[in-house]
């Protein structure tokens, strides 16, 4: 793997500054851009490590704090090891902040993140990729639907609530997407049930979108996140293989 450089930076958005983390190969050459969307716990050392690992395979990776309207990361105080069963107050603090991030705000921010990548000398011309974790998978899908000419590959891992009753549910947006998609579902994830996965796959089939949808047996919601009680090393390794395969082919 290539040696990498990581740095914190500020990205201007229509609603103020979004703090973010950027990782890229040390040689400074332009590489395909990747927008990495955080899980609910947000921008923190473990996500920065994921960005550096991805950058080591030849990408320029931007990880924005999508809750920037509520403050710079960490938006809420986090322990080094996150076990929601032991610290339920973390979700209680985060939930209203997550609820305030409407689809309209997501798309507005996404335009700013993509504009930053397009303007960066560290990013090569061509489509960008996006990968999202937990709630971040939904953000990645909304980004690809809003900017189909910019996003060429999207991966979503242990992502819940992709199928809801809302008119703008992510599964209703897939017809606008030009990217190839990958879904790594956790089979122990109550926020994305087997029935919901079938609905999502039906929408993708109807739209003619190229995709792979896989079930990670025994994995729980959050299986890629090394600093949480949901982490599953085997499932995480599978996630990296799938992600790198997708980006290598499409970016």
Q: Are the beta carbons of 161 and 186 closer than 8 angstroms?
A: no
Query: Partners of 64 in the beta sheet?
Result: 20
Which residue is catalytic, options 68, 171, 221, 239? 221
**Identified catalytic residue from 189, 227, 232, 236:** 189
CA-to-CA separations, 103 to 42, 58, 100, 209, 245, in angstroms, rounded: 18, 31, 9, 21, 29
Question: Does residue 227 have an active-site annotation?
Answer: no
**Tokens (6 digits) for 204:** 């993708």
Spatial CA neighbour of 200 closest among 183, 219, 188: 183
Residue of 19, 24, 134, 171 with catalytic role: 134
232 is a catalytic site residue: no
Query: What's the token pair of residue 47?
Result: 């996500």
Q: Which of 38, 40, 168, 142 is nearest to 49 (CA)?
A: 38
189 tagged catalytic = yes
The residues near 170 (Cβ < 8 Å, ≥ 6 apart) are 138, 141, 142, 145, 161, 162, 163, 164
Is residue 151 within 8 Å of residue 218, measured between CB atoms?
A: no
Residues with catalytic annotation? Answer: 134, 189, 221
């Amino acid at each position: 793997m290539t040696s990498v450089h990581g740095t914190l930076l500020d990205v201007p958005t229509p609603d103020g500054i979004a703090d973010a983390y950027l990782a890229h190969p040390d040689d400074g050459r332009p590489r395909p851009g990747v927008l990495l969307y955080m899980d609910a716990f947000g921008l923190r050392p473990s996500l920065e490590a994921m960005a550096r690992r991805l950058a080591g395979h030849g990408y320029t990776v931007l990880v924005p704090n999508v809750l920037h309207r509520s403050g710079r990361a960490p938006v809420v105080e986090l322990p080094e090891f996150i076990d929601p069963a032991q610290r339920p107050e973390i979700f209680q603090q985060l939930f209203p902040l997550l609820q305030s991030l409407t689809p309209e705000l997501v798309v507005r921010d996404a335009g700013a993140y993509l504009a930053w990548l397009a303007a960066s000398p560290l990013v090569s011309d061509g489509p960008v990729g996006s990968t999202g974790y937990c709630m971040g998978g939904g953000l990645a899908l909304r980004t690809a639907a809003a900017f189909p000419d910019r996003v060429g590959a999207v991966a979503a891992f242990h992502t819940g609530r992709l199928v809801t009753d809302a008119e703008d549910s992510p599964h209703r947006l897939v017809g606008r997407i030009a990217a190839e998609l990958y879904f790594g579902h956790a089979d122990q994830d109550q926020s994305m049930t087997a029935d919901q996965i079938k609905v999502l796959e039906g929408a993708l089939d109807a739209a003619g979108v190229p995709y792979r949808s896989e079930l990670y047996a025994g994995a729980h919601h959050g299986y890629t996140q090394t600093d949480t009680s949901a982490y599953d090393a085997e499932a995480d390794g599978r996630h990296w293989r799938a992600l790198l395969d997708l980006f290598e082919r499409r970016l």
